[in-house]
Amino acid sequence: MNTSIAIPYLDLAAQLRPLRDELNAVITRTVDNCTFCLGPDVAQFERDFAGYCHAKYAVGFNSGTSALHVAMRLLDIGPGDEVVTTPMTFVATSWAISYVGARPVFVDIDDQTCTLDPKLAERAITPRTRAIMPVHLYGHPCDLDPLLEICRRHKLPLVEDAAQAHGAKYRGKVVGTFGALAGFSFYPGKNLGACGEGGALVTNNEAYAARARSFREHGSTQRYYHDEIGYNYRMEGLQGAVLGVKLKSLDQWTQARRRVARRYHELLADTPLQLPREADYAESVYHLYVVRHPRRDELKRHLEADKIGCALHYPVPLHLQKCYASLGYQAGDFPVAEKAARECLSLPIYPELTDEQVGRVAAAIHDFFK
């Protein structure tokens, strides 16, 4: 094993290299046709991605954040309303709630999956609650059945934040249509990433899909006639074309990610690390491979000194972020999320990571605990 070679946390160039000719061809075609904003490639990708999610509709956006924001608008959520969500996520989850003037109401997470704990969700519901928005964090689906049961009891819509979970399965069915709406991100480093920003809303509801298309295009269905206040949230034609090419490889990439995860499980089983485990209902797409240990910071420094990239997802849970100080949460409110934030460490995981590279990461970890 060559121990001098650096292992980047993420190697997007390795993913793009085999697709270079195909990507260049569709990019050139888009430039030749000048189909820069929405256009035929976006429309085709929307059909293909809807099919991938076994959904009736996918609506392309310029980011996952925009898609989730529009999900809140579609549900007519606004000032005075509350949305129950997880504090252990990327901040864009709660931006969607904050952008419409509503209040994110955080609920602690399940220690094993780091997703919203359904046992705690119901207690957070008040007469002002308008939706529950769980996150399929790290590519692992949250426990949807009990959350859907709570939604049914309280007549609330569920919105899936599926930004990290393209193709992840809950009880054998891909995520994206369990709730009223699901938001996906195509940020370049996601399991399905654009060559730039991108996102989508997925739904089986025709009225939501039509209104989402209006929202992303300045609140209009007819040019220069604006039915409600909208946004410029259109997906770029270039991104639709790129995503159409990349979608064809997604299943194969997911299998490769799952192989890397299996290899890590085997090689790290005898370390003191808490390893990610799939719940019995889940098939994770391993967007991230997040291990946990109280000496996380030391381990991170050790790996980085050994030229192994790693990252933190996420070092500060949302209820303790400065931007949400006015919500009045305190340290200690969500002990499981706070512990996960202190202990989490994301190891390199991508389809192109070789067995040798995984072996080198594992060897460096063994060396740390020696």
Ligand X SMILES: Cc1ncc(COP(=O)(O)O)c(C=O)c1O
List 30, 93, 115, 203, residue binding ligand X (CB under 6 A): 93
Q: How far is the CB of 295 from ligand X (least distance, A)?
A: 26
Interacting positions 252-311 with ligand X (CB under 6 A): none
3-class SS string, 19-69: HHHHHHHHHHHHHHHCCCECCHHHHHHHHHHHHHCCCCEEEEECCHHHHHH
| 89: contact with ligand X by CB under 6 A | yes
Q: How many CA atoms lie within 13 A of 184 on its CB side?
A: 33
CA separation, residue 66 to residues 19, 94, 101, 215, 217 (Å): 28, 12, 15, 10, 12
**Per-residue tokens: 162:** 């599926």
Q: Of how many residues is the chain composed? A: 370
Specify the residue, 139 or 263, whose C-beta has the smaller distance to ligand X. Answer: 139
Residue range at the interface with ligand X (CB under 6 A); choices 86-94, 232-240, 331-339, 347-355: 86-94
Task: In angstroms, give the least distance from the CB of 288 to ligand X.
Answer: 9
From 59-67, 111-119, 125-133, 322-330, give the range in contact with ligand X by CB under 6 A: 59-67
99 part of the interface to ligand X, by CB under 6 A: no
Among 15, 30, 35, 65, binds ligand X (CB under 6 A): 65
List residues bridging with 159 in a β-sheet: 181
Cβ closest to ligand X, residue 30 vs residue 164: 164
In the complex, least distance from residue 30 CB atom to ligand X, rounded to whole angstroms: 20
Burial (Cβ within 10 Å: 0-12, 13-18, ≥19) of residue 174 = buried
Choose which of 74, 135, 337, 362 interacts with ligand X (CB under 6 A). 135
CA 161 to CA 181: how far, in whole Å?
9
Cα–Cα distance measured from residue 273 to residue 301, given in angstroms and rounded to the nearest whole number: 16
Residues 103-132 touching ligand X, rule: CB under 6 A, are none
Q: How far is CA 226 from CA 99, 214, 218, in A?
A: 20, 9, 7
Q: Minimum CB separation from ligand X for residue 244, in Å?
A: 18
Phi, psi values for residue 76, rounded to 5°: 55, 40
Size, binding site for ligand X by CB under 6 A: 15
Per-residue CA distances from 219 to 43, 77, 148, 159, 235 (Å) = 19, 17, 30, 21, 15
Closer Cβ to ligand X, 151 or 163, answer by number: 163
Task: Name the residue with the smallest CB distance to ligand X.
Answer: 64
Find out whether 308 and 6 touch, Cβ atoms under 8 Å: yes
Residue 143 vs 161, nearer CB to ligand X: 161
Near ligand X in 152-191, by CB under 6 A: 161, 163-164, 185, 187
Smallest gap from Cβ 183 to ligand X, in A, equals 7
Residues forming the site for ligand X (CB under 6 A): 63-65, 89-90, 92-93, 135, 161, 163-164, 185, 187, 197, 199
